[in-house]
Chains A and B, each alone.
Chain A
Amino acid sequence: MENTRKERKFNNISETVKKYVTGHVSDVAAYLGLIVCIIVFTVTSDGRLWGNYNLTVLLESVCVYMIVSLGALFVYSMGFMDISVGSQMGVYCLLTILIVNATGSLLLAIAVVLVLTLICGAFNGFVAVWLRLPSIVTSLFLMFIFGGIQLLIMESTGQNSISINYDLSVMLEPWFIVIVIVLVAVMVFYFFNFTKLGKYTRSIGANERATSQCGVNTTKWKVIAYMAFGVSVTIGTFFLLARTGSAGKSTGNSYSMDVMLSLILGGMPLSGGMKSKVRCAIIGSFTYALLSNGLIISGVDINMVYIIKAIAFFIVVAISCREKGVFLPR
C-alpha cells in the first residue's frame, strides 16, 4: 500500500518533470549546454577555468557579447536580425579614437556614437518596413556601407590599427563590468517584460498580422526596437574599445555572428515570438564565451576549436528546435 503510494508520487513527479522538459526543451538545452561546458572545462583545464585571472578574462569577453545580445533581444524577438552590428561597432570604435585623440573629449565621442546608432537603428527598422524588405537585407546594406567606411578610415590613417590616447582601464575593472552588465540586464528585463516595447516586439515575432490588427503600430515599434538595440551597441562599443585600446580594419566584424550565436546557444528561437527570453542573451553569452575560452585553456588544438564549436552549436540548435520535424522553425 505504502509502496504503491510512493510509486504514484514518484510517477507524478516524473510526469511533471517530463511535462516541463517537453514544454521547455530550448530552455533546458540552453541551461544544460552551459552546465556541461562548465563541468567539462573545469575538468579538462585542470581547474584553471576557475583561476582568478581566467575569471577576469571571461568576464571581460562576456561583457561585450552580453550587452550587445541583450539589446539584440528586441530585434531578434520580432524574428528579425541585424548583421550590420559588427561593422557598425568597428566604425564606432575608429570614430571614437579619432574624436578622442583630436578633442580629448570622451563625452563627445559617446554622444556621436549614440546618435549614429540611433539613426542606423531607425534606418534599419523603417526602411525594412517601408520597402517591405526582409530585415536582413537592410542590415546587409548597412554592413557593406560601414565595412567600406572602416576601410576608408584605416586607409586614410595609413596604419594597420590606431590607438586611443585616453585611459579606459576603469572599464576593465571587474566591479565596473559587473555593475554595467547588471544595470543593462535589469533595464532590458524591465523593458522586455513590463513595457509595451517588449510585449509588442514579441507579439510581432509571434504573429505580426494579428498584432497589427489589434491596433498596434508595428512600424513604430519595429523602429523603436532597433533603436533600443542601438543603445546597447553604443555601450558594447566602448567596452570593446576599452579591451584593446585600439581598432583596425576588422575590429568588431565578428560580432554580428557572435551575437546571433550567443542568442541561439541561449535558446532563442530565430523566429522570435513569445519564447524569446532575457535569459537567452545571458546564458548564451556565457556559454559562447566559455566555449572559446575553455577550449583554448584546455589545450585543444586550435584547428579543432572551430569544429568543436560547430558541433556544440549544431547540437544545441537541434535539441532546442521547438517545432517537431523541423530545424530552425519559421
Chain B
Amino acid sequence: MKKSLKKIVVYVLAVAMCIQMGATLIACGRGGDKIKIGVGLYQDSGPAVTATKNYLNGLAEALNCEFEFVTLSQTSDEENKTTAQSLIAGGCKGLIFTMDGGVTPAILEECKKAGVYLAGYLCDYDVNYETIKNNEYFLGTVVDGSYTGYAWGEHVAERIIAEGHKNIGMIKFPGFAFPHQAEMDQAFREKINEYNATAADADKITLTTTMELMFQPLADNYFQDNPNIDAIFAMCAGVDFVYPTLVKNGKTNIKLYTAGFSTDNDVLNNFGTSGNQCIQELVFSNVEAITYPLVMLVNKITGNEFSDNPTEAQRVDSSQLIITNNTQLDLVKTKSLYCTGNVKDAFLSVDDVKALLAVNGGTHAKLVQAVQSMDIDDLAALNG
C-alpha cells in the first residue's frame, strides 16, 4: 500500500511537470516578429511589480512588443549575468534592468555579442555610468526620482520647520548602497542650519547624528538613546524599516517623514490626520517612468532615432509622487497606476507613448519632459 502510494505520488508529479511543460509549449515562443524585451525587476511581487507588468502589457500590442519579466538579485552579480544571458538566448532584443552592479559591463559584453540593447529603469547606474555611458549597447536610464538627493532633503526640511518640530531623528541606508542619501542629509542639515541661524533659542531645531540602517528594522533601543525626538526624517524606506518599530514601542506620537510607500492599510490608515497620525510624508517614483527605457529601446531596435538623440547615454531624472496630506493620499490611492494597477490611470496613455516614438515624430526632449511631468499636481490636474 505504502509502495503504491509512493509510486502514485511520483507519477502524479511527473504528469504535473509534463502538463506544465505542455502549457509552456503552447504559451511560449509564438511571438512572431514582435519585439521581445526582458524586464528585470528587483522585486518579484508587490504593487509596483503588478503595476509595471500591467502597464507594459497594456502597451505591448500598440508597440508590437512582448515582455518577459524576471527578478534580479540585489546582491549576486553572477545570478544577474545568468539571467541576462538567458533572456538574450530566449530571443529578447532589449533589456530593461533596475539593477546596476559590477556586472553591468559583463552584461553589456553579452549584449554586444548578440546585438541586444540595455536600458535602465529607476536606477542611476552609479557604479558604472562613467564607463558605460558611451557604450553603443547602453541606451541610458531613468533615475528613481532625482539623481542628486538635494531637492527632497530641502523640501522635507522646509516642512519640518513649518510643522514646528524641534528634535529630529535622522536615519538613512548605508552610503555604499545609496550614496545619494548623503546629499539628502546634507541639504536637509543646511536648510535647518540656515533656519537656526536666525531662530530664537527656544525655536532652534536639533538634529541627531544620522544613523545608518543596515537593511534591518530600526532597533528598539533607538528611543532610549534619543528620548526627546518628536519627528524622524527617514531617507531610507521608513514604512518598512522605521514605522513598525514606532508602533511596537508605542511611539506613534513621533512624526515620520519618509521615502517609500506602501499600499498596506496599516500605513494608509495612519497617514496625515488619520488614525495615529504618525506618518506625515511619503514619496515614491512612478511606474510610468519605464516609458523612457522602453521608448529608447523600441527606437533603437526598429532602427529609428530621435532628431535630438543624445550622443551619450543619458541619466534622466523622473518625477516622484510626494504625498503630504490626506487629499493627496486619497488621490494616489484611487487614481494612480501604482495603487490601482489599472493602465487607464497611467500618466501616459497608449497613444501618448506611441506619440513619443521617433517614428511618430517624438523627440528625446519630449520623452524626458514626459517622465518629468508626473508629480502630485500633474496627477490632480489629470483627474480634474
Q: Which residues of A contact B (CB under 8 A)?
A: 40, 43-46, 48, 51, 53-54, 57, 60-61, 154-155, 157-163, 169, 240, 243-254, 292-293, 295-304, 308, 311-312, 314-315, 318-319, 324-325
Contacts and interface: CB of A to CB of B under 8 A. Distances in A.
A44 B82 CA distance: 20
Contact of A44 (B14, B28, B101): B28
A161 B21 contact: no
A78 B164 CA distance: 70
Given A161-B102, A319-B10, A248 B77 contact: yes
Interface stretch (B88-96, B151-159, B222-230, B252-260): B88-96
29 contacts: A40-B21, A43-B25, A45-B28, A45-B29, A46-B28, A48-B29, A57-B85, A159-B176, A160-B176, A161-B102, A161-B103, A162-B102, A163-B105, A243-B81, A244-B103, A247-B77, A292-B82, A293-B86, A297-B90, A298-B90, A299-B27, A300-B24, A300-B28, A308-B17, A311-B17, A312-B17, A315-B10, A318-B10, A319-B10
A159 B127 contact: yes
B65 interface: no
Given A160-B176, A293-B89, A244 B78 contact: yes
Contact of B89 (A54, A159, A163, A301): A54
Nearest to B78: A244
Given A163-B102, A163-B105, A298-B24, 12 more contacts: A53-B114, A54-B89, A160-B102, A161-B77, A161-B103, A245-B103, A245-B106, A249-B75, A296-B70, A296-B87, A298-B25, A302-B69
Contacts of A319: 10
Contacts of B71: 302
Interface in B13-33: 13-14, 16-17, 20-21, 24-25, 27-29
Closest 10 CB pairs of A and B: A246-B102, A299-B28, A161-B102, A296-B86, A46-B29, A54-B89, A297-B90, A250-B75, A244-B77, A57-B85
A161 B81 CA distance: 14
A325 B3 contact: yes
Nearest to B36: A299
A251 to B, nearest CB: 6
Given A243-B81, A293-B89, A157 B176 contact: yes
Contacts of B177: 160
B270 interface: no
Contacts of A312: 17
B248 interface: no
A57 B89 contact: yes
A298 B106 CA distance: 23
A14 to B, nearest CB: 21
A61 B81 CA distance: 10
Nearest to A93: B78
B48 to A, nearest CB: 16
B72 to A, nearest CB: 10
B64 interface: no
A293 B84 CA distance: 11
B86 A160 contact: no
B91 A48 contact: yes
Contact of A297 (B16, B17, B86, B113): B86
B90 A303 contact: no
A251 B70 contact: no
Contact of A245 (B44, B73, B86, B105): B105
Contacts of A251: 76-78
B24 A60 contact: no
A110 to B, nearest CB: 19
Contacts of B113: 53
B17 A315 contact: yes
B9 interface: yes
Given A244-B103, A311-B16, A299 B68 contact: yes
A325 B6 CA distance: 9
A80 B27 CA distance: 42
B89 A53 contact: yes
B83 interface: yes
A254 B76 CA distance: 9
Nearest to B69: A302
